Amino acid sequence: MIFKTLKFTIPRPDAELHISGTGIRQEMRPYIVDRPQGTGDRLLMFFYDPVLLKIDDRTRQYPPNTLMLWDDGAGHYYGNTERRWRHSWIHFHGRSAAELLAENGFVSGMPLTFSRPDVMEEYLLKIYKELTGTYAADAIILKNLFHCMLREMDRSIRGTAAPAIPERIFRAKMFIEKNQTGKITLRQLAAGARLSVPHFCAEFKKWMGVSPVEYQLQLRFELAKYLLGNRNLNITEIALQTGCSDIFQFSKMFRKRAGQSPSAFRKTIFSGK
């Protein structure tokens, strides 16, 4: 996934929270950004590649996955003179900025290791869409998005969340969810994850708690329960919509998980019991 998404807005000094600019996975040529006076606002930046940072007049190289916050008026010195480098960032200021940062454990001038750039990217993209959408940007929506981004980033940094699913397993999970009613083979999923079928199945169960096949069946079961609440669909139609080839296969799958037939389950829905 490669973005070159940039957005700058006109500063609002009186704003509770004003987002001045955003960038997602911006790629730079080999050089150093040196702004002794900063940019007059706060800057939160994530580096995907090795980066030189100057902190307290000392310049040193930091590894990939470094997160850095600069406060109002702080000078910026960052980059890489030996290779192209990528970064995501957000410029912001306002009365509530310091409060939100402190609440979520962000300290200016203190580089951190951050292993979940996808979290930051997700919110930066939502902020970008809010800033560039058809409607005028909503200050409350922007503040909530910014606040949620900081909270999720802090949770990841502190390690209070469950371990992140490896990307290849996450992609397989999302593929199953997108194609929950279709025909999916283990060979197809394993190839996408670049693993052998046995290795993929073991990894998937390790992280998801069930096999890939069972995960798809669980999704179909949840879909079936939802569809059974629609009086205008008969059992055969529901079986087909959940990806089952016939009503007998569907009934077997459903009874195994619900402990009763689809018809009996539907009766409990409509009876209110």
210-242: pLDDT as tens digits: 999 999 999 999 999 999 999 899 999 999 999
Angle formed by the axes of helices 167-178 and 212-227, nearest 10°: 40
- Predicted local distance difference test score (pLDDT) of residue 160: 47
- Predicted local distance difference test score (pLDDT) of residue 11: 58
Domains belonging to the chain, first-starting first, are 5-158 (2.60.120.280), 167-267 (1.10.10.60)
If one counts every other C-beta atom within 10 angstroms of the C-beta of residue 248, the result is: 10
15-61: pLDDT as tens digits: 788 898 899 999 999 999 999 998 889 999 999 999 999 998 899 99
- Predicted local distance difference test score (pLDDT) of residue 157: 86
Phi, psi of 245 (to 5 degrees): -75, -30
Question: Which residues, listed in sequence order, are joined to residue 25 by a DSSP beta bridge?
Answer: none
50-89: pLDDT as tens digits: 999 999 889 999 999 999 999 988 999 999 999 999 999 9
- Predicted local distance difference test score (pLDDT) of residue 3: 47
- Predicted local distance difference test score (pLDDT) of residue 271: 79
Structure token pair of residue 193 = 């994850």
pTM over 0.75: no
- Cα–Cα distance between 214 and 171 in angstroms, integer? 17
Percent with pLDDT over 90 in the chain: 72
111-131: pLDDT as tens digits: 999 989 999 999 999 999 898
- Cα–Cα distance between 86 and 27 in angstroms, integer? 4
DSSP string, 90-148: EEEESTTHHHHHHHTT--TT--EE---HHHHHHHHHHHHHHHHSSSPPPHHHHHHHHHH
134-190: pLDDT as tens digits: 888 898 999 999 999 999 999 888 864 455 688 899 999 999 999 999 999 999 999
Percent with pLDDT over 70 in the chain: 92
pLDDT tops 90 at residue 7 = no
